[in-house]
Structures are given as C-alpha cells and as structure tokens.
Amino acid sequence: MLKRAGGICFLHHKEGMHLRQQQRRRSGNMIILILIFFSVSVIMYAETVIRLPEPELIRERTFSEIPEKYYCPEPVKKDVEEFFSVDKMTIGAEFLFLTSGVFPEAGIIDVYNGMLGFSNMVGITYTTAKEKEPKTLVYESFRIADPENKQPLPDLILKEPAAELKIFVFQNMDDFGDIIWEVDYRYNGDIITAELSNVGPIYMGPFKIVDPRNLSVLLTAVPEGDDVVLYQTGKVYSSSMQLLSFLGFKGYLEETFYQRMKAISSVYSTSNF
C-alpha cells in the first residue's frame, strides 16, 4: 500500500510478467473442461450475464479506530459489527455506492455474478498518495482452484444464487506482487455478502508488511426497491504499518490504504453487473 516510506523506495520488478500472463491464458483454455470438479455440485451455470448501471459513490472514509457508526445499510449492520469485532486493526476504510434502476430489468443473480467477476479487475487504477497520478493497481486477476494451483479458471457465471460459495482469486498487484484471496459468499434470499481475506503474507519488496488473514474486505449488495445499495468496508492489521505510523507516516498510510481500497471496490463497477 506504500510506494515510499522513510525515504526508502521499493521497486516492483515486472520482468517476465507478460510471458507468464500469456502462458496462463493458454493453459486456461485447457482447464475449462474440468471446471465442474472445482465447483459446488449444486451450482447451476449460465452462459451470459446482464450489465447493469454504473454504481454511484455516495460516501467514503478511512479510519484508524473503529467508528461508533457505520455508513452501511441497516440490514447488514450486524455483519459489519461482527467484521470489526474480532481482529486488531491498523487502518480501515468504507465506501457506500448506489446502483439505480437495477430491477426489474435484471435480477439478483446478475448482481451475484457481477461480484464474481474478478477477471475484469485487470487494469484498474489507483491514485498514489504522493504523485496524485493514476497508476495501474492490478496486472493479473483470475479465479483459481485452490492456493496450491495457480492455473487460471474463468469467472463463475451462475444461473441461480448460491446460499454459500467459496472461491480463490489470484492477483498480481502493484508493489505487492502476487496475492491470493479467499472469497466467501453468502446469500440469505435477499442480501449478497462476500468476504475476502489474504491467504498468504503480503510483501512490499523484500519486506513482509501483512501476515496471512490480516487484510480483509467485506462487500455487500442490498436490494432496495428498484435499486441496489452496495457497501464495502475493509481492515488491515500490520505491525510494520504501526511502526511507520509511529514514525510519522500515519496520514500517508491512511491515504494510501484508502486509494487501494477504493480501487478494489471497482469490482462493483468493472465486473459484469
């Protein structure tokens, strides 16, 4: 999440990245036939998705202490409180979006499929805290069978919402390099919730800055009439980041984390809904 700390610049080496991407695309065609073995047997798949209106950002903020009140819709308040009740936190952020006129032209399954569309995050940008210029955040993004198998799988496209679903997502991100996310979906007949957590440690150059499971993101979609209220929040705990905050980089860290969280929220706007 940092590009510079304490006068030390961390360089992200991308040599070989394009070759690896080409190899993964070729291998992806070979594994489509066995996709069903990596999926829940009761899930039904669709061939197409409906693209819905672009979400509008309503509210956003970062925080270093758990707030007394959240921006979330009332139906997911309990989920958000539980999300922040267990772990320590160095920095948090939350974003509230509104997608107008979704229903009845589309259905809740289209919103669900949109939140499964991680491959569409390739090429999204964020704004650095110092330069204030857009930079590419995600170079690669695709579903994988499990953390030990990094061959790319296509995004799931469901015919019916799954009550529970787990997937793993591989991403190559600016500064951080390779990250594997575990994503757990829940659907209660009305609201869709997806919770992401990093499976392995996150590095910045040679330095480990986040331990496994210490970066988490909560995505929710709440239907309201013809509209969908989209809420995202996230938290990160890092002793390294705490030290940098102590050394006077607190504001820099908060802004950097905010920008990356905002970029991750583009799964709402760049995915297939």
Q: What pLDDT, on the 0 to 100 scale, is given for residue 269?
A: 57
In a domain, 105, yes or no: yes
**What is the residue-wise DSSP string for 157-184?**
-BSS--SEEEEEEEEEETTTEEEEEEEE
Q: Is 247 exposed, middle or buried (0-12, 13-18, 19+ CB in 10 A)?
A: exposed
Q: What pLDDT, on the 0 to 100 scale, is given for residue 207?
A: 76
260 or 23, which is more confident? 260
Taking only Cα atoms into account, the Rg of the chain, rounded to an integer number of angstroms, comes to 18
In a domain, 7, yes or no: no
In a domain, 182, yes or no: yes
79 near 85, Cβ under 8 Å?
no
217 near 232, Cβ under 8 Å?
yes
- Comparing 13-27, 52-66, 163-177, which segment has the lowest mean pLDDT? 13-27
In a domain, 1, yes or no: no
Residue 240 has pLDDT above 80, yes or no: no
Q: What is the band of 228 on the pLDDT scale with cuts at 50, 70, 90?
A: very high
Tell me the pLDDT tens digit for each residue of 174-186: 878 899 999 999 9
In a domain, 153, yes or no: yes
Count of CA atoms in the C-beta half-sphere (13 A) of 133? 2
In a domain, 3, yes or no: no
Per-residue pLDDT, averaged over 18-46, amounts to 36
267 near 232, Cβ under 8 Å?
no
Residue 241's contacts (CB-CB under 8 Å, 6 or more residues apart) are 1, 90, 91, 209, 210, 253
Residue 88 has pLDDT above 90, yes or no: no
Q: What pLDDT, on the 0 to 100 scale, is given for residue 268?
A: 60
| Mean confidence (pLDDT) of the chain | 77
Residue 148 has pLDDT above 80, yes or no: yes
96 or 33, which is more confident? 96
Strand (E) or helix (H) holding 219: strand 215-224
Q: What pLDDT, on the 0 to 100 scale, is given for residue 126?
A: 77
Per-residue pLDDT, averaged over 25-34, amounts to 31
In a domain, 20, yes or no: yes
Per-residue pLDDT, averaged over 52-57, amounts to 82
222 or 239, which is more confident? 222
60 or 32, which is more confident? 60
Q: What is the band of 55 on the pLDDT scale with cuts at 50, 70, 90?
A: confident
Count of CA atoms in the C-beta half-sphere (13 A) of 10? 18
- Tell me which residue range forms the domain holding 92: 12-42+49-270
Domains: count for the chain? 1
Residue 141's contacts (CB-CB under 8 Å, 6 or more residues apart) are 118, 119, 120, 121, 122, 169, 170, 171, 172
